[in-house]
Amino acid sequence: MSDSPPIFKRVLLKLSGEALMGSKSFGIDPSIAADIAAEVDSVHKLGVQVAVMIGGGNIFRGLQSSAYGVGRVAADNMGMLATIINAIAIGEAIRNTGSGTRIMTAIEMAKIAEPYVTERAIDHLLNNRIVIFGGGTGNPFFTTDTAATLRALEINSDVLLKATKVDGVYDADPVSEPSARFFPSLTYEEMLKKKLKVMDMTAVSLAMENNLPIVVFNLMQKGNIIKAVTGEKVGTTITGE
């Protein structure tokens, strides 16, 4: 656990579904889920109110729907259901650390998760529970990046923490292009102008309109979530300045 105090009171952590795969080609790696849960629990024990939005790309991606012979709306619905599977998995992993959790979903399924209501989510956070959001926005054509930005604004989060598989924002994929340029900081306008693809443009525009800071960092490096929360320099910071 970090010796530095947190600089944020409330954060929303955006996890990609792919992050849960680890070295697997599909599904959830239990050890990765446990590692993420342990770090979220450590942040929570610093006194930070934590919400988590999770994607579903490790199970199904709506943008790949043509390969399955289904339309975009149906495929996005399938993708949103995949995020709920992941939310349950990460919720159980966090609960195993001893922290209290609530899973909330934009798609109503009362026997599985609590329907998302902003006031209830905030109440859970105030009562020392970690809130996990599944189901995206509940609507097709919106990514979980946009859903994460929307939820962060609704619950008055101080920052959106975007966890990825690379060290931050680059001008190209650093895995396939080792010479890709790394950006330690960016403005929203630069993100949009350069069309940098770490987040979709709708999410960046929404954050810009509401002055929501974004920190993009490598989830695979243990300790990076705590570093981001305590203000230690990590990844790429995106703001209006």
Segment 101-124 mean pLDDT: 96
pLDDT for position 175:
84
Average pLDDT over residues 116-128: 98
Tell me the per-residue pLDDT of 137-172, one tens digit each, with 9 for 90 and over. Answer: 999 999 999 999 999 999 999 999 999 888 999 998
Q: What is the mean pLDDT of the chain?
A: 92
Interatomic CA distance for residues 138 and 144, integer angstroms:
10
Positive/negative CA dihedral, 87, 88, 93, 97: positive
Q: Give residue 197's pLDDT.
A: 82
Which residues are 115's β-sheet partners? 105
pLDDT at res. 23: 79
Q: How confident is the model at residue 64 (pLDDT cuts 50, 70, 90)?
A: low
Tell me the whole-structure pTM to 2 decimals: 0.94
* Of residues 169, 235, 185, 239, the one with CA closest to residue 210: 239
pLDDT at 2: 58
Read off the pLDDT of residues 168-215 as tens digits, 9 standing for 90 and up: 999 988 888 989 999 999 999 999 999 998 899 999 999 999 999 999
- Mean pLDDT in residue range 10-32: 90
Q: Which domains does the chain have, with CATH numbers?
A: 10-239 (3.40.1160.10)
Residues with Cβ within 8 Å of residue 103, at least 6 apart in sequence: 84, 87, 88, 91, 112, 113, 114, 131, 132, 134
